[in-house]
Amino acid sequence: MAEQRPIVTEKQSDVAIVRITRPEVLNALNLATRKALAATFTELQDDPEVRCIVLTGDEKAFAAGADLKEMVDADAVEIAKRRTERYWQAIARTPQPVIAAVQGYALGGGLELAMICDIIVAGENAQLGQPEVRVGIMPGAGGTQRLTRAVGKFHAMRLCLTGRPISGREAYEIGLVSLVVPDDEVMATALKLASDIARLPPLAVTSIKEAILQGENASLDAGLALERKAFQLLFASEDRREGMNAFIEKRKPQFKGK
């Protein structure tokens, strides 16, 4: 019997929900799933009705890592030629904010996928980690780089060198996730957060996201210059005028993304 679609997308008003649907393997990320994720996010980037995206799996796993069955017999050249970084780049370049809703396992490539997102909401008992060392390899899609930038050298070394996972609660304590909530409240929390963001002026939201991401690897002076120019450009938007007038007039603003 053919495997079901690895990715399912639905929309709730101006929020898109992207769900990984390979429960039989704890949502392990095979090549087909990575390609489907890239295609889905590329399509959502151009949808003016989508102002925020929630990426999730199910209650047992966000994504339990790469599908080792596709790697066990591969050599270095074959792995290099797959160029799987292309698929992650499609997600990283999405202008709308992306929220990862993490329940259960987010290990290896699954944690790397969550770290590509802008906000991570995790369940208290979620298991997050980089276990690649335990099968003779190392993180290859951000586990040594994004993780270090998120939690610092010493926590990143511990997670990558031991391969041991940590709970959602500990992940919150070290700064790896944005919010930690009871496991059965993860999706509701993520959707509420996405809905709140979606109601805000989209030009300002995407400008904030761009400034934070681009400034992360720039000098402070360069980052401040980028921030300043983006701030100035927003004064050309209709939403800026609407937001300020609504505040002064004590009414609810109506943002149109213009």
| Catalytically active residues, by annotation | 66, 109, 112, 132
Q: How many CB atoms lie within 10 A of CB 25?
A: 17
* Among 184, 242, 181, 201, residue whose Cα is nearest residue 97: 201
* CA–CA gap between residue 79 and residue 144 (Å, rounded): 18
The end-to-end CA distance of the chain, in Å, is 48
* CA–CA gap between residue 23 and residue 64 (Å, rounded): 10
Q: Which residue has the tokens 């989508």?
A: 50
Residue 62 to residues 12, 72, 181, 200: CA-CA distances in angstroms?
20, 23, 15, 27
Sign of the Cα torsion 174, 170, 102, 156 reads: positive
Question: Residue 50 burial (CB < 10 Å; 0-12/13-18/19+)?
Answer: buried
